[in-house]
Structures are given as structure tokens and as C-alpha cells.
Chains A and B, each alone.
Chain A
Amino acid sequence: MSLTTADVRKVARLARLAINETEIETARAQLSGIFDLIAEMQAVDTKGIAPMSHAQDLSQRLREDVVSEADQRELFQSIAPQVEAGLYLVPQVIE
């Protein structure tokens, strides 16, 4: 499968990756290579094999519903770029 440079731009935007014009062709070729590999795998006959959603054939362990975490706000916020009145501050987002 061959991706277009438009596909690469879209994926980059969705992933919030800055890719400049000179990098686009390299990224397009590399990503296309990955999709070629996927296409090869998809050609394998998997009839009768249950799909896996995880590499390990185990099931999720459950945790009892107990509060175990103490308040560590001060510690966590000591490495935050900007805080105010207990809130983490980020550049303004407008809905």
C-alpha cells in the first residue's frame, strides 16, 4: 500500500507531530513500508483463529475498590511549569 503525502500530513496533524516539507517524503516512504508489511500479514489465512487483543494470553487482574493513594499534590506540582490555586495552568484553550 502506498501512502500519499496528504495521508502523512493528516496522520501527523492527528498525532500533533511537526513534520517539515523535507521530512515528508522520508516519512511517507517509511510508513508505506510498514503498511506493506501489514498487507503481507493480512494475506495469511487466519480462518478459525480467534483474534487476540493482547500479546499475552492472560486476563486482567482486578483491584479491590479501596482508596490507597494519599494526596501528593504539592510533590506533583513542584515539577509543573505553572500552577495557581491548586490548578495546573496551560495555555488558554477556547472551546
Chain B
Amino acid sequence: MPHKTFVRAPEWEIVIGLEVHTQLSTNSKIFSGASTTYGAEPNTQADAVSIALPGVLPVLNKGAVERAIKFGLAVGAHIAPRSVFARKNYFYPDLPKGYQISQFDLPVVGQGALTIQVEPLSGNAKPYEKVVRITRAHLEEDAGKSVHGESQGVTGVDLNRAGTPLLEIVSEPDMRSAAEAVAYAKALHSLVRWIGICDGNMQEGSFRCDVNVSVRRPGEPLGTRREIKNLNSFKFMQQAIDYEVQWQIDTIENGGKIQQATILFNPDTGETRAMRSKEDAHDYRYFPDPDLLPLDITPAMLEQVRATLPELPQAKRERYVNELGLSAYDASMLTASREMADFFEDAVDSLFSQVRSAINLGAAPCAEPYAAKLCANWIIGEVSAQLNRDGLDIAQCPVSAQQLGDIILRIVDGAILNSGAKEVFRTMWEEQITWSALGGKQARTADEIIEAKGLKQVSDSGAIEKIVDEIIAANPAQVAEYRSGKDKVFGFFVGLAMKASKGKANPAQLNDILKKKLAG
């Protein structure tokens, strides 16, 4: 891809809205009992309804409706007590009925909102939070797939995907940069996976984004938009928007006018280009589908679905900050996915229950915020780094949350230092991978590894006192300096004591003893 530097004149404001098609994770199709499993042989999951044989009738899938409600509740939206299915009419071979069943003026999910965390692209700008309004979300069926170029003069049609349930989520044009659009798409992607309504697999097309882009001078009415279709990667979204914005600004500054159009992004060239504009492309002649009755959602059904809703990312972030004392940054990293948050909470739970029941915590700082912060640091730092290195995601982490909790417990109670803990963690990681490849056997426990590697700190106050006494006796000049008020020499003594204990002296304990003895 050719490298381009985009110069954006500050007098231009970018306006972006998204339409996202999420494939709902049901077993069967939205209007029939055919399977939705991905990757089956062509047309083996295309039943009489999917291929639109005459005389068949659609019957709505309860699982699809429940997932739509779940999404609506998660974004604080109004759920329509009565919504209506409509026919969207157009002709294409992968749409055998000649219309797509969708929803038009009465969608199932009304206005809602999603809070996003934006990481600006320019180096010195700070991350910030923004609320993006959601206009609506509606249920519809997917079309089939056209296979071009297999044989001369013909197009192949695979109708396995026809009738797969989709929830199309439409945002307001609230985003003002590519970074905000990507942050919104990522937050939405995380949310639909979080609440379990979509597998989020972008390669398989489970999460497809259409991006509406326009530019204007601030204060002016909205400019004419062009719609970039079917982006299935966040990286491409970023590139497509950057290219498109620059193209629109150049066009207007060179005296041209933007024509409303549907465009495609080519990842190989990094450019966008307009699709052949069909004269009647947007004349869909929607009307209520007489084959389907209005969808009534009762308060009872609403409550049933509400009861299945997990704690949402935003609520978790607030709890982590308010109850566990984490920073907003840590909280947002840990809620990037539900698996990540689960891992963190399992580690904290396991650690807290042991910290609370531990009797002999000595002088170590054992407050829960300290333990929670340690867990956060470990998961965001060491655990994520190792996962990246091995190309794993958190659900596949060889060291379990409980095992991590066991390691951190030994930092909290002062048995080992952070550096020792890293050694335990890496050893456990390798052992777990080796043993699970060989079948069954578990890695050694944290305590066994600490013992075997001799990583335990010296917490025996007698032993530390002995070391301190020897150092004081051997360095009378520095002792005198310290006693005359030169506090800086303290570090010199700590260094010597750590060296003498081969790094195993409990630092808190060592500090206490040193201070007491140096005071004379």
C-alpha cells in the first residue's frame, strides 16, 4: 500500500455515523428451523423458506427477539412494545424472494446510547470518554452469497446464509474523527460479545460496518455523505475514513461537489471508490409484510431477558474505580472483553479470600486495594505480554486466574518480591504448556516453585538483624553521616543488606530494622 501523509486542514469538521450488521448467535434462522452453522457445504442449510419456495411462510425465532431485547437493554434503549416487520424490495439472485424481511418505521429497539473510550491518534492528546447516541436497532434477515467467476457467464448462488438473523444497529452522526468511529465500533463489538448475542467473528462476517462520512466547516449544516460499505476490520475502517475524508476535502477545496454515493474500500491500494450507482438503488418500496403479524414484547418477556443480562462494562469500570481503587485506565483495559474482566475478578476473588483468611501477614501491606492493583498490573502487564508473545487470548491463558492469585498472594504476604514472582509465573506458564501437551498433569503450585527455586525472602527478623548489625559495624563512617542527618545514606545500607541477603530480605521488614538500629 502506498504511504500517504494526510494533511487535515483544521477548518474542516468530520462527521461520521455507523450502521453495523451484527449476526445474532442463534442456532436456527430468523424465520425457519434451518441451521446457521458457518462454513457448511453450499446450500445444505438452505431449507424451503431460505430458498423461497412458493407457499412457505416465515415463523419468527424467539432467540433472535431475545437477543435484540438484550442489546436494547444494554444500551439503555426503549424496547418497542409493538414492532413491525416490513418488506424491503430489490432484485438480486442471492435474495430469492425479491425482498428482504426487515423492519422500517417501527423497529424493535429505539433510541439508546453507548459510552466509548477514545484513544486519539496524535501523540500528545489524552484518552477521553464520549457518549455516542444510538438511533435504533432492528431485526432483519441476511441475504445469501453470490459466487462469481467459477464458470464463464454464470454466477453461483449459495443460500446457506439467507435467513440468518441480523441486528442492524444505527448510530447518530456523533463521531468527529476516525479514532472516534473506530472506538465506537470496538465498544460495540465488545458489547455484543459481552452480552452473548453475537460471536463477533469479523472474518466470517458476523460483524460488518457501513460508515457514513461527510465533512463541513464548523457551524455549517451537515455536508453530503458517502457511505463506505462492508468494512470488516478496524484497521481498514481507520484507513478508509482517513482516505475518504482527505478525498472529500480535496474535492470541495478544488471547487467540486460531493455526490451522495455508496463506496467500497480497497485494502490493497488503501483507496475508496464509488460503486456503480444504480438509478433506483434506494427505492425499496417498504411495506408491512402481510406474512408476519406485529411483534408484541410483553413486560414479562422484557423482565425475563433483563434477568439474563450480565454486569455491563461501564458498570464494571465504575465498580473497579470506586470499590477496588483502580485507575480509570486500568479499569478500561480490564473491561476490554468479558473474558479479561472475568479473569481479573477470578484472580482477585481467589486472592482476597486467601488474604482475608491468612493469619500470618507479617508487616506486609495487605490492604485489598493493594492486592487488586497488583492483580491489575499483572494482567495488563506480564500476563498480556506473555499472551501476545504466544499468540493466545485470555481465555486460553495457560496460568489460571487462581494460579495467578496464588503467586500474587506471596507478593502480598512478603514471601517473594515482584522479580521472584515473575520467575514463578514464567516457570508455571512453561510447565503448564508442556504438561497439557503431554496430557493431564498440572504445573507445580506457586509455593512448590518458590521452594524449589529458593525465591523465598528472608522474613526471619533474627537473620535480618544479624545482617544489619554486621553492616553497621563494618561502615562506621556512613553510620556517623546518617546520624548527623544525611538521610540519603539510608539507601546505601539497604543496598548492602539486600546484597548480603542475596535479594531475599523482606524490604518492609528490612527498612524497619535498619531505621531502628541506625537510630542507635
Contact = CB atoms under 8 A, between A and B. Distances in A.
A94 B276 CA distance: 10
Interface string B11-44: 0000000000000001110001111000001111
A interface: dominant SS = loop
A92 B150 CA distance: 10
A64 B29 CA distance: 11
B59 A59 contact: no
Interface string A65-94: 111110111001100001011111111111
Contacts of A95: 275-276
Contacts of B190: none
Interface residues of B, number: 55
A72 B47 contact: yes
A77 B43 contact: yes
B62 A63 contact: yes
Nearest to B59: A63
Given A59-B294, A66-B27, A87 B61 contact: no
A88 B154 CA distance: 10
Contacts of B65: 62
Contact of B46 (A14, A59, A76): A76
Contact of A87 (B82, B158, B294): B158
B61 A93 contact: no
B43 A60 contact: no
Contacts of B156: 84-85, 87-89
Interface stretch (A28-36, A41-49, A50-58): A50-58
A74 to B, nearest CB: 10
Given A54-B290, A64-B62, A65-B61, A91 B154 contact: yes
Contacts of A68: 28, 33
Contacts of B26: 65
Nearest to A11: B285
Interface in B130-186: 146-148, 150-151, 153-159
A60 B296 contact: yes
Contacts of B42: 85-87
Nearest to B144: A88
A93 B62 contact: no
Contacts of B285: 14
A71 B33 CA distance: 11
B253 interface: no
A52 B145 CA distance: 35
B51 A69 contact: no
Contact of B154 (A10, A53, A65, A89): A89
B28 A66 contact: yes
Nearest to B67: A65
A93 B33 contact: no
A4 B67 CA distance: 46
Interface in B275-303: 275-276, 280, 283, 285, 288, 290, 292-296
Contact of B283 (A14, A62, A66, A85): A14
Residue among B45, B60, B276, B293 with max Cβ neighbours from chain A (10 Å)? B293
Given A62-B61, A64-B62, A73 B43 contact: yes
Contacts, number: 133
B64 interface: yes
Contacts of A13: 280
Nearest to B296: A59
Nearest to A93: B155
B155 A76 contact: no
Given A69-B33, A69-B35, A92 B64 contact: no
Contacts of A73: 41, 43-44, 46
Nearest to A86: B42
A62 B296 CA distance: 10
A36 to B, nearest CB: 20
Contacts of A10: 280
Nearest to B276: A95
A51 B126 CA distance: 50
Contacts of A16: 91
Given A60-B293, A62-B61, A90 B93 contact: yes
Nearest to B84: A53
Contacts of A72: 47-48
B63 interface: yes
Nearest to B91: A16
Nearest to B66: A65
Contacts of B292: 54, 60
B92 interface: yes
A87 to B, nearest CB: 3
A87 B151 CA distance: 11
A85 B256 CA distance: 49
A67 B28 CA distance: 5
Nearest to A80: B51
Given A60-B60, A60-B292, A88-B159, A93 B92 contact: yes
A89 B151 contact: yes
Interface of B: 26-28, 32-35, 41-48, 51, 53, 59-65, 82, 84, 89, 91-93, 106, 146-148, 150-151, 153-159, 275-276, 280, 283, 285, 288, 290, 292-296
10 contacts: A60-B293, A65-B61, A66-B27, A66-B33, A69-B28, A71-B44, A72-B47, A76-B48, A85-B150, A92-B153
Interface of A: 10, 13-14, 16, 53-56, 58-69, 71-73, 76-77, 82, 84-95
Given A84-B154, A91-B154, A92-B153, 7 more contacts: A56-B293, A61-B60, A65-B63, A69-B32, A86-B41, A88-B157, A90-B157
